[in-house]
Homo-oligomer: A and B are copies of this chain.
């Protein structure tokens, strides 16, 4: 029986705990051409979107990852005996989005943009690996600079940093807020 690359890709995504990129898949499936792999990938994704399933393949941080169907949240929480997953704190989320839009950025710059000292909550973001230190700024005092990580992208199911909410989306939100009052 011939082994179809589609099924191998399915296996590979399945055993990966982090989004698996097409490049990595290609580097593992050396027996198949890039074109074959790309076709198989497309085929696999179609299978998963066209058929109703308990599990799905999501695209995030430049790769593919299995996740459960959001409609099953209730039962999964029951099984795992979880009340709910932890959300980011408001301060954490604000720092995160400041970094996301202004990276690379220093702590002082984050604090200036927010009007608040922002060293609080930075620890959680670093420990959760949602942001990382990427070196120092070539300016007086050489402060550390921060960037968001791939884990940040995966957390919000963004494929790349370009998929962050755009100016238009942001303006739309602001308009909506204005009309609320």
| A contact set with B: CB distance below 8 Å | 3-4, 6-12, 14-16, 20, 24, 27-29, 52-55, 66, 68-69, 71-72, 75-76, 78-80, 82-83, 89-91, 119-124, 126, 132-136, 144, 157-159, 162-163, 165, 169, 172-174, 176-181
Contact status A176-B119, CB under 8 Å: yes
Contact status B10-A55, CB under 8 Å: yes
Chain B residues, CB < 8 A from A69: 7, 11
Roughly how many angstroms separate A16 CA and B165 CA in the complex, as a whole number? Answer: 31
Roughly how many angstroms separate A3 CA and B123 CA in the complex, as a whole number? Answer: 38
Contact of A173 among B91, B123, B173 (CB under 8 A): B123
Chain B residues, CB < 8 A from A133: 165
Contact status B24-A79, CB under 8 Å: yes
Q: How many copies does the complex hold?
A: 2
Contact status B54-A11, CB under 8 Å: yes
Chain B residues, CB < 8 A from A75: 8, 11-12, 28-29
Chain B residues, CB < 8 A from A76: 11-12, 15
Asked, given contacts A28-B82, A181-B91, whether A122 binds B173 with beta carbons under 8 Å apart, the answer is: yes
Contact status A179-B14, CB under 8 Å: no
Asked, given contacts A28-B79, A134-B157, whether A11 binds B55 with beta carbons under 8 Å apart, the answer is: yes
Sample 20 A-B pairs with CB under 8 A, ordered by A number: A6-B54, A7-B52, A7-B53, A7-B69, A8-B75, A10-B54, A11-B55, A12-B75, A24-B82, A28-B82, A90-B181, A91-B180, A119-B176, A120-B176, A120-B177, A122-B176, A123-B173, A135-B158, A136-B162, A144-B165
